[in-house]
Amino acid sequence: MNTVVWFKRDLRLHDHAALTHAMTHGGSVLPVYIFDHDWWCALDASWRQLGFVLESLADLDRALRRLGSRLYLMTGEPLQCLQTLHQEFPFQALYSHQETGNAISFARDQRITHWCNSEQIKWHQPRAFAVYRGPLNRDHWDKLWQQHMQQPVLPAPLKLNLPQSAPRPMLWSECQQLLATWPIHGRDIAERQRGGRQNALLVWQQFLHVRGINYRQSLSSPLRAALGNSRLSAYLTWGCLSLREVVHELQQHKLTLAKTPNNPWHAELNAFKSRLHWHCHFIQKFETEPEIEFHNMNRGFDGMRKETSLSNEEKLRLDAWCSGKTGYPLIDACMQMLIQTGWINFRMRAMLISFATQHLWLHWRQPGLHLARLFVDYEPGIHFSQLQMQAGVTGINALRVYNPAKQQRDQDPDGVFVKRWLPALRKVPTTYLCEPWRMPLSVQERVGCVIGHDYPAPIVAHEDAARSAKTKLHAWRQQPQTRSLAAEVLQQHGSRKKMSRRVKAAKTAVINRDQLSLDFM
């Protein structure tokens, strides 16, 4: 029997359920990766992500070659690719992991499901994470997560021969030449993380044994997070590591550390494990309600902000935010780091979207797509839920309106981070660095940073903008429809920790929970 294993966002051989199950059924197994034209040319994809994936695919191909096989590359529309492949290599079974992607991948999978049924091809889709399709009682989800993570980690195959009847594969050079002609957003960047399982393992071991000792202290700081955070998010997004193998090794390491009482590592690794749990928690929200890619989770907030037909002023605000030219140093420095590296820690991500949606009063959709393109670790299942939390349109989360000047004083008091990413401010005295527009003109001229010329003036007055946003958000939250829908959102998507108290809060419209977030990224 001919079998195809379709690699998507699971670019590894270890703990790969689709590959393992395919091999247990015998026959010829052909490993395939399809560069989906619609996915890579979409509004939420970019060259920096594709560059990471290309490196990960090259690493995967090397691993397959060591087993006697290789990766079969295809480009275009996936259904057409599989139809063409089926003509040249008639296969009776297709294996791939379940994917919680965007609307493009969802529609693609629906087309392929219909085709497989019509051709009597059995499509097997084991879970990649502890994320469940179909009707789900959220009350029991935590137990399902535990059950999934407690299952054994599947070993990589020892041998995998390439089928003799396999068609001629596309060469890497041919594939890259074709990709270069596609209208993919942006360009690749030199300072992003490198892709591939070998790099993932190195980063993971460094964190587990060295860098993780300062994990909790590094979570919020844009200056320390690059080293103190795990930096596994991109490797989990593109499947160079499985979440389950990370959880297993973490638990084993904790057992070893348990032999040493009062070891400072205990608290750090416990904090990290909790973030791994929240990874699937948020993806499950998106799997349950994929429509939140496009509309508010709580429809009671529809119409509060304008999504389309932006005024010229709104376009200017969006452009200034996207380019890191808002006049607020920490906002702009974070955006510049994202532009140049493709990563920043969670707290600063939350601050960026909060500033865009609260201070600039922009709908979350356009800023969210911009961030999606910048994030090398863009995970749709996490991204859209988090956008709406920070934008205040779930009705069940605490409102967070970050003060950019206070955040800078708290997280970068000496200005090391800001001055690294904003050269125009490098000579500005620390006294004025949080609010450089307050510098006397004589000081501006002396340090070579004239506001409005060398560095932008503030695009809004942040105190007034925050006050206005809070007033509007509280007014919308108090509307009967919004309050009623908030209880439904809580029932469908809310964490069940301390649920009884939270249900009571929802009924009284004092809904300000579900605040834990993905600080591990």
Q: In tens digits, what is the pLDDT along the chain, a chain of 521 residues?
A: 899 999 999 999 999 999 999 999 877 999 999 999 999 999 999 999 999 999 999 999 999 999 999 999 999 999 999 999 999 999 999 999 999 999 999 999 999 999 999 999 999 999 999 999 987 888 889 999 999 999 999 999 999 988 988 888 899 999 999 999 999 999 999 999 999 999 999 999 999 999 999 999 999 999 999 999 999 999 999 999 999 999 999 999 999 998 888 899 999 999 999 999 899 999 999 999 999 999 999 999 999 999 999 999 999 999 999 999 999 999 999 999 999 999 999 999 999 999 999 999 999 999 999 999 999 999 999 999 999 999 999 999 988 899 999 999 999 999 999 999 999 999 999 999 999 999 999 999 999 999 999 999 999 999 999 999 999 999 999 999 999 999 999 999 988 765 444 444 444 433 333 333 333 33
User: Which residues, listed in sequence order, are joined to residue 75 by a DSSP beta bridge?
Assistant: 35
> Which two three-digit tokens encode residue 351?
């601050």
**What CA–CA distance (Å, rounded) separates 325 from 333?**
9
Q: Which residue has the tokens 């690794």?
A: 269
Token representation of residue 386: 């988090």
Residues paired with 73 in a beta bridge? 33
pLDDT given at position 518: 36
Q: Is residue 279 within 8 Å of residue 520, measured between CB atoms?
A: yes
Are 281 and 495 within 8 A, CB to CB?
yes
Q: Residue 498's pLDDT is what?
A: 52
Q: Which residues contact 301 (CB under 8 A, 6 or more apart)?
A: 392, 393, 395, 476, 482
Residue 26 has a pLDDT of 74
Q: What is the 8-class DSSP label of residue 483?
A: H
Strand order in the sheet with 72-76: 72-76, 28-36, 2-7, 93-95, 122-124
CA distance 428 to 443: 8
The two tokens of residue 270 are: 């416990």
Please tell me whether residue 44 adopts helix, strand or coil conformation: coil
- In the structure encoding, which two tokens stand for residue 249, read together? 């090794």
Q: Amino acid letter at 299?
A: R
C-alpha span between 72 and 89 (Å, rounded):
12
SS3 label, residue 201: helix
Three-class SS of residue 163? coil
444 phi and psi, to 5 degrees?
-55, -45
